[in-house]
Amino acid sequence: MRKISLRAIGRVHNSIRKIKREGWDSVVSEVILDKTFAEALEGVEEYSHLLVLFWLSRVRKAERKMKKIHPKSRQDLPLVGIFATRTQYRPNPIGLTLVKLLERKKNILKVRGLDALNGTPVIDIKPISPHQEFPKKKRVPKWYDELWRKLRK
Amino acid sequence: MRKISLRAIGRVHNSIRKIKREGWDSVVSEVILDKTFAEALEGVEEYSHLLVLFWLSRVRKAERKMKKIHPKSRQDLPLVGIFATRTQYRPNPIGLTLVKLLERKKNILKVRGLDALNGTPVIDIKPISPHQEFPKKKRVPKWYDELWRKLRK
């Protein structure tokens, strides 16, 4: 299939240098876009939350070929297809995270909850769209709820 | 900034050949992934909804440089930065849409609500993650609610 070319529009700045699985909720990051994008951010401050799309630049080529995993590498959870999880091991390692927007200053967004290491390339910022994206009735696998019960203990 | 390379993992198949703004909710599409990804889809059928990431291949180079727009080209709504909207006119024209999953058969997902033209390259499939992505308290711009009130009339 045809190749698609993206360009980073900015980078994540925070204190996180090492990959970690948990404890991202409270992390405050700055998303520093290229200065030319300051104008393109006008109005984002009216949203409480944004979706940040970023490029998981540390994922290696071999890891992009994985087909199935245990969610969060937990052997107590079933082996499922990578598209049934949010693992970074995917053919196109794009991260997608909902963050709380704390502040915007020109080309810089201060956000909470972004699970990206310092220096991570950012590829898009999208506002939430509650009318389209928050379904009232939803269904998830058993393991998903089990995982979150365990994470919260 | 450094270039990032993606590869399409599949394509959208539906009856929609011409760009349209509205009426996507009821459109049923097939997302046909490369056959090698059938295994990687195992378990997605346990979700009611998925997020489909796709490449808006018709967006032209000049359109990727836009900084501000009127949402949905409506002059009655304010001019805002493109990152405050879900317009396709963005530096990296990645589409992100929540769809209802109707069925999976091997490498093929049958979905409802995907606002992508026939032939659109698909770059990722992510399951919903309600624990992380559905904030209870949220705030959106006035124009956003106004737009949806108008669209529903």
Contacts of B59 in chain A (CB under 8 A): none
More confident residue, A96 or A142: A96
H, E, C per residue of B91-135: CCCEEEEEEEEEEEECCEEEEECCCCCCCCEEEEEEECCHHHHCC
How much is the pLDDT for A151? 80
Res A1 pLDDT > 60: no
The answer to whether A140 touches A124, Cβ cutoff 8 Å, is no
pLDDT over threshold 70, residue A2: no
Tell me: pLDDT of B1 over 70: no
- Alpha carbon distance A45, A107 (integer Å): 12
Average predicted confidence (pLDDT) for chain A: 92
- Predicted confidence (pLDDT) per residue in A88-133, tens digit: 999 999 999 999 999 999 999 999 999 999 999 999 999 999 888 8
Chain B hits for A46, CB-CB cut-off 8 Å, are 84, 139-142
Q: Which residues of B touch A53 (CB under 8 A)?
A: 92, 94, 96
Q: Which residue has the tokens 């079933």?
A: A78
What's the ipTM?
0.94
CA distance B117 to chain A (A): 17
pLDDT digits (tens, 9 = 90+) for B120-151: 999 999 999 988 888 888 888 888 888 888 88
Instruction: Please name the member of A4, A8, A78 whose beta carbon is closest to the beta carbon of B6.
Output: A4
Q: Find chain B residues with C-beta within 8 A of A88's C-beta.
A: none
User: In A, which residues are within 8 Å of B7 by CB distance?
Assistant: 1-4, 91-92
Asked if A126's CB is within 8 angstroms of B4's CB, the reply is no
Residue B2 confidence (pLDDT) above 70: no
- Residue-level pLDDT at B150: 82
Q: What is the 3-state secondary structure (H, E, C) of chain B?
A: CCEEEEECCEEEECCCCCCCCCCCCCCEEEEEECHHHCHHHCCHHHCCEEEEEEECCCCCCHHHHCCEECHHHCCCCCCEEHHHCCCCCCCCCEEEEEEEEEEEECCEEEEECCCCCCCCEEEEEEECCHHHHCCCCCCCCHHHHHHHHHHHC
A and B: number of Cβ contacts within 8 A: 212
Residue-wise pLDDT tens digits, B36-46: 999 999 999 99
Question: Chain A: residue nearest B69 by CA?
Answer: A40
pLDDT of residue A132: 85
Determine the Cα–Cα distance for residues B19 and B29; give it in Å rounded to an integer: 15
B72: left (phi over 0), alpha (psi -120 to 50) or beta: left
Region B18-34 average pLDDT = 89
pLDDT digits (tens, 9 = 90+) for B60-114: 999 999 999 999 888 989 999 999 999 999 999 999 999 999 999 999 999 999 9
Output the pTM of the full model: 0.94
Nearest-CB residue to A83 (from B44, B86, B134):
B44
Residue B34: other Cβ atoms inside 10 A: 16
